[in-house]
Amino acid sequence: MIYMLSPVARWDFIGKSVFANKIYGNRLTFGINAGFEPKQFYAEIRLNYEKYLRRYLPIHTDKLTLEFIARF
């Protein structure tokens, strides 16, 4: 059974220093986390979409990730 649903959002910078204005790109992450009833162990599924807003990062592309987390 699904115990909780949580929307998530994150915005972070990629680069050497934010304070020295050496930022190579930004990343926006949006998603949803679904946690299951913690009867035997804690389990969670995370579905995220990452959008790269890049200046100098040609190797990074937008991606959709699905993660399964378990804590015993």
Sole residue written with tokens 């986390």: 33
- Could you give the CA distance from residue 50 to residue 44 in angstroms, rounded to a whole number? 19
Domain total of the chain: 1
Residues 50, 12 contacting (CB under 8 angstroms): no
Q: How far is CA 27 from the centre of its chain?
A: 9
The pLDDT score that the predictor gives to residue 13 is 83
**pLDDT (tens digit per residue) in 2-57:** 889 999 999 988 777 777 777 778 889 999 999 988 778 889 999 999 998 876 66
- 35's CB contacts (< 8 A; 6+ apart) are 2, 3, 4, 5, 6, 42, 43, 44
Instruction: Tell me the pTM.
Output: 0.73
Q: Domain of residue 35: give its range.
A: 2-71
Please report, for the domain that includes residue 51, its CATH number. Answer: 2.20.200
What is the Cα Rg of the chain in Å?
A: 16
